[in-house]
């Protein structure tokens, strides 16, 4: 596969359309012992876990991968974590897991499924309410794991118990543990120069362990031809970087529930009892609805001999036994100007990651992510080839409320209300197009992948699981895919979790976004859709109407492509005997299909409609009616 002129091409010169899913949601937690976040003991003995069996046991891999391929998916975003590779300690790699992972990816290769390796994290680690980094990264700066929840440094499902408030986990980005680790990881040399790990600056030490771990992982996978690219980090976060006033709330995705200010988080971590605001966000905006006490027992987060890096840096101090904020805008500036997290810190890290991965395979692509619903790194061709803008987008109103109304929505980017079904669909298209336009203007027209989007299937308190009626889910997913198809956007939906259950969802923070659960598909008619997976020419227009079983594809054929155009199309889409109308027209003469014959063949067993390249430049229109 090669990149050229904003397109992925295969070895036959055809333009590819990558469509697939994230595999899997439960890969965020260990397989042995069971690591689902609802299990109260799942944070114990962090060095003794194993991720062998994630995303699925090896003996089940053929079944799952055949299923994914049968749905037309030709692309997988493979979820792996730093913890999975290096949980036992710095430099101690889990070779059994890497050998297992290699076998899974070789099975993808056997099926013609491409793979994008996703070093996944959410709010830093499992011990800070998410997933990703090993526990020892926290311990190395003196954090006592058993005091994280007590000090309010993070909210975890394990400690909070059931029911877990909806979408509570992202608020951990504004709590002490995750915010501190991200700030040290990306900018410790600037903001915490006195904080070291094993005699090295904390930033250098943490980044080197991360880079070395994933480079080692790729070295073990270097003969896996299915791997076309790597991401540097899923949904990176700036921590405290950029805060203009540490006494308030900034750098947050949404304000829900009790959230400390940055200064309150720092004070609480050092043993102070503080009162923090409780927030509510809805269509009326964000407001404070109450107060909550943080760290009521007044315990310290830090082991003996360690203290808060930000106190050591002079951000805050003590006066008369009380914490005082000394530098409210400490993280707002860099080199005498306003800081830019993306360009000053994230992009240099991504470049380092790229250099390490290219040492293993100089032809691999790099999938770049910025902050979800935030800024993205710029990129120029002279900074490196093979770059893909891999942004994420969710219908936030549906994700957070777990309800869906096609006639009213809230934009994820500016949180403005949208009314009317056509306007809602247009807003979805517009939001996606904004990210694609960024790639055109600021990333030298890099190709785009929607690396994450999806739908919580537990809408309306899991009503569909009782009734079997997925009408709302189908409506929502059809609108998402219609927006994606209108832009010819590559995509991997979140997610396929083979061990998903109605009771516990994907096994992580009560999320329940899997296309598959309890051994059955969910709302399949909406996401199992025809699409042109390989085109001997340039795509111009594509649409699919599942209600009418009508597919329309228009493309301009060229003479350079060697293979046929391939349209993923199954009997379940259009029936056994669909009507297939094909017309072709040359741009020079206007000759019609009577003189330009486009031969085709439908392989129903493989669900592929093949259209032979006519060998001359022409515009081809394919209309299929079931």
Tens digit of pLDDT for each residue in 26-57?
Answer: 999 999 999 999 999 999 999 999 999 999 99
The Cα–Cα gap between 149 and 151 comes to 5
Burial of 199 (0-12, 13-18, 19+ CB in 10 A): exposed
> Residue 455: which pLDDT band, with cuts at 50, 70 and 90?
very high
Q: What is the pLDDT of residue 616?
A: 87
pLDDT at residue 587 tops 80 = no
Q: pLDDT value at position 499?
A: 97
Identify which of 52, 128, 139 has the alpha carbon closest to the alpha carbon of residue 89. Answer: 139
DSSP string across 340-375: -HIIIIIHHHHHHHHHHHHHH-TT-EEEE---TTS-
Q: Kindly state the tokens that stand for 190.
A: 């600037």
Distance separating alpha carbons of residues 580 and 601, to the nearest angstrom: 11
pLDDT at 588: 64
Distance CA 428, CA 479 (A): 8
* Dihedral pair phi/psi, residue 449, rounded to 5°: -130, 130
b/e per residue 144-171 (b: at least 16 CB within 10 A): bbebbbbbbbbbbbbebeeebebbbbbb
Give 483-538 as a DSSP string. Answer: HHHHTT-EEEEEEE-TT-BTTTBTSSTT----SEETTEESSHHHHS--EEEEESEE
Report the pLDDT value the prediction gives residue 162, as an integer from 0 to 100: 94
- Cβ neighbourhood burial of 201 (10 Å; 0-12, 13-18, 19+): middle
What φ, ψ does residue 521 adopt, rounded to 5°? -80, 160
Each residue of 149-185: pLDDT tens digit?
A: 999 999 999 999 999 998 899 999 999 999 999 999 9
Q: Give me the active site residues, please.
A: 235, 452
Q: Is the pLDDT of residue 570 over 70?
A: yes
Q: In sequence order, what DSSP letters do the residues of 60-92 get, joined into one string?
A: GHHHHHHHHHHTT--EEEEEE-HHHHHTTSTT-
pLDDT of residue 404: 97
Long-range pairs, 351-355, Cβ under 8 A, ≥24: 351/383, 351/384, 352/207, 352/211, 353/211, 353/214, 353/230, 353/232, 353/233, 354/232, 354/384
User: What are the E-state strand segments in 86-212?
Assistant: 114-119, 196-197, 200-201
- Flag whether pLDDT at 290 surpasses 50: yes
Has residue 592 got a pLDDT over 70?
no
pLDDT reported for residue 147: 98
**From the centroid of its chain, how far is CA 531?**
22
Give yes or no for a contact between 236 and 377, defined as CB atoms under 8 angstroms apart: no
d(C-alpha 116, C-alpha 522), whole Å: 24
**pLDDT surpassing 70 at residue 268:** yes
Does pLDDT of 243 surpass 70?
yes
Digit-coded pLDDT (tens) for 297-338: 999 999 999 999 999 999 999 999 999 999 999 999 999 999
Percent of the chain exceeding pLDDT 90 equals: 92
d(CA 231, CA 184): 21
Helices and strands (DSSP H and E) totals, the chain:
17, 32
Site of tokens 């980090």: 233
* pLDDT value at 83 more than 50: yes
Contact yes or no for 232/330 (Cβ under 8 A): no
**pTM for this prediction:** 0.96
**Alpha-carbon distances of 484 from 241, 372, 427, 553, 568, rounded to whole Å:** 33, 17, 12, 15, 16
Q: Are 404 and 459 in contact (CB under 8 A)?
A: yes
Which token pair is 585?
Answer: 């027209």
The two tokens of residue 486 are: 């209108």
Confidence of residue 595 (pLDDT cuts 50, 70, 90): low
pLDDT score at 593: 44
Distance CA 209, CA 584 (A): 57
Distance of alpha carbon 367 from alpha carbon 492, whole angstroms: 13
User: Please, what sign has the CA dihedral across residues 305, 311, 313, 319?
Assistant: negative
User: What letter does residue 281 receive in the DSSP assignment?
Assistant: E
Segments of 187-256 assigned E as strands: 196-197, 200-201, 227-231
Q: What is the mean pLDDT of the chain?
A: 96
Q: Are 233 and 119 in contact (CB under 8 A)?
A: yes
Closest residue by Cα to residue 144 from 314, 323, 307: 307
Before 495, cis peptide (omega within 30)?
A: yes
Q: Is the pLDDT of residue 510 over 50?
A: yes
pLDDT at 241 over 50: yes
State the Cα–Cα distance between residues 363 and 388, nearest whole angstrom.
13
Tokens of 138: 């926290």
CA–CA separation, 2 and 15 (whole Å): 10
CA–CA separation, 584 and 257 (whole Å): 59
For 66, other C-beta atoms within 10 Å of its C-beta total 11
Which residues lie across from 277 on neighbouring strands?
291
Place of tokens 């998410």: 130
Mean pLDDT calculated for residue range 346-373: 96
Least Cα distance to 482 among 514, 474, 15 occurs for 474
Helix (H, G, I), strand (E, B) or coil at 266: helix
82-98: average pLDDT? 98
Residue 302 is classified by DSSP as B
> Do β-strands 227-231 and 365-368 pair in parallel, antiparallel, or remain unpaired?
parallel
Q: Is the peptide bond before 216 cis (omega within 30 degrees of 0)?
A: no
């Amino acid at each position: 596969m090669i990149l050229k002129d904003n397109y992925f091409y295969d070895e036959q010169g055809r333009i590819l359309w990558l469509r697939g899913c994230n595999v899997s949601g439960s890969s965020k937690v260990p397989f042995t012992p069971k690591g689902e976040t609802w299990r109260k003991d799942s944070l114990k003995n962090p060095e003794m876990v194993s991720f062998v069996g994630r995303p699925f046991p090896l003996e089940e891999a053929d079944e799952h991968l055949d299923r994914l391929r049968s749905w037309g998916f030709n692309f997988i975003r493979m979820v792996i974590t730093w913890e999975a590779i290096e949980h036992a300690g710095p430099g101690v790699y889990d070779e059994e897991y890497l050998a297992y992972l290699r076998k899974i990816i070789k099975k993808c290769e056997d099926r013609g499924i491409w793979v994008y390796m996703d070093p996944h994290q959410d709010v830093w680690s499992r011990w800070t309410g998410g997933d990703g980094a090993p526990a020892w990264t926290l311990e190395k700066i003196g954090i006592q794991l058993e005091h994280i929840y007590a000090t309010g440094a993070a909210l975890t499902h394990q400690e909070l118990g059931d029911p877990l408030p909806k979408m509570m986990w992202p608020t951990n980005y504004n709590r002490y543990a995750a915010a501190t680790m991200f700030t040290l990881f990306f900018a410790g040399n600037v903001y915490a120069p006195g904080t070291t790990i094993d005699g090295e600056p904390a930033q250098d030490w943490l980044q080197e362990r991360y880079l070395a771990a994933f480079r080692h992982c790729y070295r073990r996978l270097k003969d896996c031809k299915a791997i076309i690219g790597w991401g540097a980090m899923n949904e990176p976060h700036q921590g405290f970087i950029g805060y203009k006033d540490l006494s308030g709330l900034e750098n947050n995705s949404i304000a829900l529930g009790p959230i400390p200010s940055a200064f309150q988080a720092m004070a609480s971590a050092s043993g102070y009892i503080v009162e923090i605001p409780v927030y509510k966000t809805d269509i009326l905006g964000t407001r404070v609805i109450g107060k909550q006490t943080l760290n009521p027992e007044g315990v310290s987060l830090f082991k003996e001999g360690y203290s808060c890096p930000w106190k050591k840096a002079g951000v805050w101090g003590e006066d008369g036994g009380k914490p005082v904020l000394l530098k409210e805008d400490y993280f707002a500036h860099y080199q005498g100007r306003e800081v830019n997290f993306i360009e000053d810190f994230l992009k240099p890290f991504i470049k380092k990651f790229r250099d390490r991965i290219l040492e293993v395979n100089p032809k691999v692509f790099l999938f770049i992510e910025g902050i979800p619903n935030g800024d993205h790194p710029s990129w120029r061709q002279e900074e490196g080839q093979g770059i893909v803008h891999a942004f994420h987008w969710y219908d936030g109103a549906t994700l957070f409320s777990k309800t869906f109304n096609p006639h009213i929505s809230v934009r994820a980017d500016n949180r403005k209300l949208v009314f009317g079904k056509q306007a809602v669909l247009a807003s979805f298209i517009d939001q996606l197009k904004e990210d694609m336009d960024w790639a055109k203007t600021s990333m030298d027209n890099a190709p785009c992948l929607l690396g994450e989007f999806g739908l919580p299937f537990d809408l309306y308190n899991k009503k569909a699981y009782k009734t079997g009626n997925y009408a709302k889910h189908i409506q929502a997913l059809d609108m998402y895919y219609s927006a994606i198809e209108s832009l010819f956007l590559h995509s991997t939906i979140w997610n396929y979790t083979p061990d998903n259950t109605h009771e516990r969802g994907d096994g992580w923070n009560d999320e329940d976004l899997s296309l598959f659960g309890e051994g059955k598909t969910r709302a399949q008619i909406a996401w199992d859709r025809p699409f042109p997976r390989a085109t001997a020419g340039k795509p111009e227009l594509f649409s699919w109407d599942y209600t009418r079983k009508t597919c329309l594809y228009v493309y301009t054929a060229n003479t350079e492509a060697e293979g046929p155009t391939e349209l993923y199309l199954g009997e379940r889409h259009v029936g056994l005997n669909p009507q297939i109308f094909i017309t072709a027209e040359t741009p020079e003469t206007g000759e019609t299909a009577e003189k330009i014959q486009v031969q085709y063949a439908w392989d129903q067993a493989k669900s592929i409609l093949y259209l032979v390249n006519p060998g001359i430049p022409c515009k081809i229109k394919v209309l299929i009616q079931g």
